[in-house]
Structure 1
């Protein structure tokens, strides 16, 4: 790196000030440092000088000694730092800044355990990181602990984890070109209490290289303003995206302003989406799709989406769902040909109960599509101000549906209608018998 006269003057000024301050500066650093930590003698150079070698040596020494390395407030320009097992780097939250200076990442760790970062800002500055780059990378890492850190300004991803176990908590991840946090093949991961916002493609991704149990917990995060700048039909634009990962729990999150879904699970069995507050979604708010077996979508709020809940794709093996206790309102048609405007859609081996749905321009609840319907129970739901309250497939090959004890009001084209594809056929089954349809049991519903 070639330094100009201005950079050298700044560096000299920083060193001179540190020398002039003498014991007072040291005492201030020691006062801020966590108890039992080793206080760094590195003087932050305001990002004017690359300090990789000095930082790496200090981190290695701290790992060997078993003491945390404390970095005082200031800006440190650094290329990739490789952290060994037992490394703990702490800073002053919001004030200790590691600024990217090359190497595809600011911090990386591999085949390690007990690595901890706290109180740091990792700032990519929008500088190109190279393909598959990220501000923090970790592979085959156990007991990884990242807390109270900020990840800002990445031209690629924010955090990339592979085969990691541990937690990412109380962090801010923002102004990220692609995904805020990508995890693949986790071995026991918690992602909690983070603020994720202004990301180009996705918020939090929980993936596996092959279909299998994962068990990651994604809880109490605030996720907002997630785009789909790389395009696609749903692989981008999601607050939380689960792919091939089973037994993932997504609960208690506030997810808003996503181009596609708040939570989208593709081929992930036994996933739970519970007690999330979701608003202003461009497509399906809570989505279980393709070859999943088992999903619970319960006690969520969805306000403004093209569709509230979808647990479908029986053709590809999507089956076994509980959709219960959700509040879904203010749905809309998309501008493209895939219009949506549906509160809840299910197809196979599913229970839909105790939901409140208001304002669906197509269907409050859609049961099956064409031949793709098997063993669905729809009971005790309140449906208001929809075009059709409940639509149910009566295709010759469709399976059985039970529809009972629902209250449906202000449905413009019928409270309960038999559907031949997108076309309603026959009378309103909330008011007349469904005996003509061998696959339906419809009774004790109230419509007005």
Structure 2
């Protein structure tokens, strides 16, 4: 993952320092151009209206909002793509017509302005391809308007665009569907992408860096099926400028959104979670790499039913994986095949009991199998909290160099758990210990002759 520093000025952004031209995936527009033998910037581009042939002058200076708006409206009526040749176009707010096709040359066709916003409500189709869109919010303030503000568009396509320096969200989408693909989004004051109540949205192959409060947010106003797919993105340096204890600072955040797949993303240096699902049922979180998360790297929390967390790598976090809040209705999960390592006891706020430094923590109706946890300074695995434990199976895991291999609740009212076939190495305080909340109250329950409480089945674990 690119760890290059964010761009400190409009000049750097407009100079094409983002390097989007190196992205190998081609947009449908350019694929069509190759077949037809036409070149970018040619008025012979089939189905395209060259903006310069209608009086728009690249890099001429001055505000070109009125002419740009007129040309967008004309292209919408004729069904053409409005093509912006390479150059700088200073503009303010632009209203995207019901059918919008706006294209440019990646890294070279640049829309910019401190009041720039591309807005739409109720469009049938919007296609934005190969544009650089710069809000000039340096440094980003975090409270301003989004650069793209789209509502009620079922067919939104944003491809190979550079979008930077938004005062608020870079892309703010409401009740919209489509895809955001192969874009570079940097220096958003709030989030790179915020989607509310989406209808079949795909967010694929984007690079997102240096955002003030979030990376990709898939939210709903009330719980419901969302079915977005978030895959193959690279996110780095996501801050939590607005503070809090987890509502900000997440690389990918699902809130009340059911049926979302988050897969094969690379996430570095998120202030809180790399991936956080809050109240989102039937989430699939698979194949992601999460490095140096400030709090819990992978989180399924609060009122959810159904989560699959599998095949992820977590290297560096305060907690590796947490599947929590049975007291709030959080239940039903599979946690399998994950590698969690190099955890720490320090987080972004003073920890509640039992503290930071856990590898994996689960509570209800959950299978925990075939995971490897190494260097968790508190517990390798925590099963339950107080009476909040029910129907948990922990089998075939490896816990290495954790002071306590497995911490399991023995508080009255705790439900059934099976702990078998786990390998626990380097657990100086005990392989398996029973806890009353934060206090260890048993000897090593994996030791020969130990008699575990009736709600626990402990067998075949090796040290």
TM-score (norm 2): 0.88
Partner SS for 2:67: helix
Pick aligned residue for 2:388 from 366, 372, 380: 372
Give the Cα–Cα distance (whole angstroms) in 1 for the partners of residues 357 and 340 of structure 2: 11
The answer to whether 1:85 aligns with 2:103 is: no
**Structure 1 residue 80: deviation in Å?**
1.2
State whether structure 2 residue 336 is matched by structure 1 residue 320: no
1:218-244 residue CA offsets vs partner (Å, 9 max, x unmatched): 000000000001100000110001101
Task: Say whether 1:187 aligns with 2:227.
Answer: no
Structure 1 or 2: larger strand share?
1
Separation in structure 2 between the aligned mates of residue 53 and residue 207 of structure 1, nearest angstrom:
34
Q: Does the 8 Å contact 1:106/1:122 carry over to 2?
A: no
Deviation at 1:150, TM superposition (A): 0.9
For the 8 Å contact 2:389–2:409, the answer to whether it is kept is yes
Structure 1 residue 160, shift from structure 2 partner: 0.1
Counterpart of 1:70 (choices 64, 80, 83) is 83
CA distance in 2, matches of 1:34, 1:164: 29
Corresponding position of 1:244: 256
1:209 to 221, 227, 236: 221
* Local SS of the residue matching 2:195: strand
Range that drifts further, 131-140 or 35-44? 35-44
Aligned to 1:146: 158
SS at match of 1:180: strand
1:171 match: 183
| Structure exhibiting the larger radius of gyration computed from Cα positions | 1
- The answer for the alignment partner of 2:309 in structure 1 is 297
5+ residue gaps, structure 1, are: 1-26
Correspondence 1:272 to 2:272: no
1:213-362 to structure 2, matched below 5 A, reads 213-334=225-346, 336-338=349-351, 339-362=355-378
Q: Distance in 2 between matches of 1:33 and 1:307?
A: 57
Q: Secondary structure at the match of 1:234?
A: coil
Of 31-40 and 377-386, the range deviating more from structure 2:
31-40
Q: Which runs of 5+ in 2 are unaligned?
A: 1-37
Query: How far 1:124 sits from its partner (Å)?
Result: 0.4
**Is the partner of 1:416 in helix, strand or coil?**
strand
Query: Would the aligned equivalents of 2:210 and 2:236 in 1 still touch at CA under 8 Å?
Result: yes
Q: Is the 8 A contact 1:47 1:99 kept in 2?
A: no
Look up the match of 2:436: 420
Counterpart residue number, 1:19: none
2: CA distance, partners of 1:252 / 1:162:
25
Provide the rounded CA distance (Å) in 2 between the counterparts of 1:399 and 1:132: 49
After superposing the two structures, state which structure 1 stretch, 309-318 or 424-433, moved more: 424-433
Q: 1:132 to 1:33 in 2, by over 3 A?
A: farther
Q: Hey, what's the Cα distance between the residues in 2 that align with 1:437 and 1:130?
A: 52
Contact 1:32 1:92 in 2 (8 A): no
Contact 2:56 2:68 (C-alpha < 8 Å) held by counterparts: no
- How far residue 35 of structure 1 moved from its aligned partner, in angstroms, is 3.5
Per the TM alignment, residue 337 of structure 1 is displaced from its structure 2 partner at its CA by: 2.8
Q: Which of the numbers 399, 403, 409 marks the counterpart of 2:415? A: 399
Match of 1:121 among 122, 132, 156: 132
Equivalent position of 2:10 in the other structure: none
Partner of 1:444: 460
Report Cα offsets for 1:77-112 as digits up to 9, x if no partner.
11111111221010010111111252xx52112111
Give, in angstroms, the shift of residue 431 of structure 1: 1.5
Query: For 2:338 and 2:142, how far apart are their aligned partners in 1?
Result: 43
Instruction: Give the Cα separation in 2 of the matches to 1:47 and 1:320.
Output: 60
- Secondary structure of the equivalent of 1:145? strand
Give the aligned length. Answer: 419
3-state DSSP of counterpart to 1:112: coil
Structure 2 counterpart SS, 1:398: coil
Contact 2:97 2:120 in 1 (8 A): yes
Question: Counterpart in 1 of 2:62?
Answer: 49
User: Aligned-residue CA RMSD in angstroms?
Assistant: 1.7
The answer (yes or no) to whether the contact 1:213–1:245 under 8 Å persists in 2 is yes
Supply the distance in 2 between the matched residues of 1:374 and 1:442 (Cα, whole angstroms): 15
Structure 1: distance between partners of 2:99 and 2:147:
20
Matched, 1:385 2:396: no
Q: Report whether the alignment pairs 1:108 with 2:119.
A: yes
Secondary structure of the equivalent of 2:99?
A: coil
Normalising by the residue count of structure 1, what TM-score does the alignment of the two structures yield?
Answer: 0.90
Aligned to 1:96: 109
Shift of 1:177: 1.1
Q: Does the aligned pair in 2 maintain the 1:33–1:70 contact within 8 Å?
A: no
Moved more, 360-369 or 30-39: 30-39
8 Å contact from structure 1 (residues 77, 101) kept in 2:
no
* Change in CA separation of 1:431 and 1:45 when aligned onto 2, cut-off 3 Å: same
How far apart are residue 67 of structure 1 and its match?
A: 1.2
